[in-house]
Amino acid sequence: MKLNIKNGKIDMSHGSGGRASALLIEELFLKYLNNDWLAQRNDSATFNIDAGRMVMSTDAHVISPLFFPGGDIGSLAVYGSVNDVAMSGAKPLYLSVSFILEEGFALCDLECIVISMAQAAKDCAVNIVCGDTKVVERGKGDGVFISTTGVGVLPQDVNICGSKAQVGDIIILSGSIGDHGVAILSKRENLQFETTIESDSAALNHLVADMVNAVPQIHCLRDPTRGGLATTLNEIATQSAVGMHIHETAIPVKAEVAAACELLGLDPLYMANEGKLIAICARADAETLLCVMRDHPLAKHSSIIGEIVADKHRLVQMHTAFGGQRIVDYLNADPLPRIC
């Protein structure tokens, strides 16, 4: 029996743990993801780690649409956990992956997703060492959900943490914001509009490695994903018990992203990113860090967007391009378009 990838669909037997499951693993998952650990066919993976502390993070992906300009759920699931591990300054090494597949999901689409994951893992230099597959009845899933967990190793002298922002520190952003959010919105079923914007979905671990190598004493790193830049800055302000002053004119927003947000009444500050990070470091380290970042292809447009200030209310305040001032709050709910 062979898996009919071209025309076949996922059925309940693929999640039964029996012969059909084995076929799916053999002819699809192992075909593209195989490595020494998966080849052993054990229930768990055993691996050695270098000296240092271990870092672990997990991320579930339920994105719609599954394929979008600039990426797909497969690569996004790999980058998600890799980036979360990297934000501690660690080197990501191993991933686990769980698929929840909906009955009727096309095997050819699943193959595209798995190929994309394999390529993403290769780009990140991580190995997918264990996995699981479950199938849910038609109507009880949204095609495919993917959950990944990443493990990495952190050198002893690196201590990057959301609570370490200090008054006087500088805030650096690695590039333009809102690309992912707008790319996804443009392909939503009921909101299709033409745009050339692609998701910024990318692995940030190599960029972080360069940054940590140059400035091991970075205070905070975080990727502003859901909730956007505004929410991430507020999270750090709360964690570190500080305020922030940022400058609207210093925050890069692509013209197409700005236009789409304008049309829909949304704010790029709250749009999701999947390949950007913010770094907070001592003023004395800012120039070195900025240079290193700008040398990396994923952070060519890095800029200093503001600084940490003392503020018992922990507010993020923005000097607007218009010359006024306003606070920038957490995202309160899913951004909804305005009526008029």
Told to check if 323 binds another protein by CB under 8 A, we report: yes
- Taking the complex as a whole, the smallest distance from the CB of residue 88 to another protein amounts, in Å, to 29
Task: Tell which one of 56, 214, 259, 309 touches another protein (CB under 8 A).
Answer: 259
Told to check if 4 binds another protein by CB under 8 A, we report: no
Task: Tell which one of 44, 46, 156, 190 touches another protein (CB under 8 A).
Answer: 190
Query: Which range touches another protein (CB under 8 A), out of 19-27, 199-207, 214-222, 261-269?
Result: 261-269
- Taking the complex as a whole, the smallest distance from the CB of residue 331 to another protein amounts, in Å, to 9
Told to check if 139 binds another protein by CB under 8 A, we report: no
Residues 239-258 interacting with another protein (rule: CB under 8 A):
255, 258
Judged by CB, which is closer to another protein: 43, or 189? 189
Told to check if 194 binds another protein by CB under 8 A, we report: no
Told to check if 288 binds another protein by CB under 8 A, we report: no
Task: Tell which one of 157, 262, 287, 295 touches another protein (CB under 8 A).
Answer: 262
Told to check if 191 binds another protein by CB under 8 A, we report: yes
How many chain residues are in contact with another protein, going by CB under 8 A? Answer: 28
Told to check if 333 binds another protein by CB under 8 A, we report: yes
Three-state secondary structure readout of the chain: CCCCCCCCECCHHHHCCCHHHHHHHHHHHHHHHCCHHHHCCCCCCCCCCCCCEEEEEEEEECCCCCEECCEEHHHHHHHHHHHHHHCCCCEEEEEEEEEEEECCCEHHHHHHHHHHHHHHHHHHCCEEEEEEEEEECCCCCCCEEEEEEEEEEECCCCCCCCCCCCCCCEEEECCCCCHHHHHHHCCCCCCCCCCCCCCCCCCCHHHHHHHHHHCCCCCEEECCCCCHHHHHHHHHHHHHCCEEEEEHHHCCCCHHHHHHHHHHCCCHHHCCCCCCCEEEECHHHHHHHHHHHHCCHHHCCCEEEEEEECCCCCCEEEECCCCCEEECCCCCCCCCCCCC
Told to check if 327 binds another protein by CB under 8 A, we report: yes
Told to check if 310 binds another protein by CB under 8 A, we report: no
Told to check if 317 binds another protein by CB under 8 A, we report: yes
Told to check if 297 binds another protein by CB under 8 A, we report: no
Phi, psi torsion values for 21, nearest 5 degrees: -65, -45
Residues that bind another protein (CB under 8 A): 190-191, 255, 258-259, 262, 264-265, 313, 315, 317, 320-327, 329-330, 332-333, 336-340
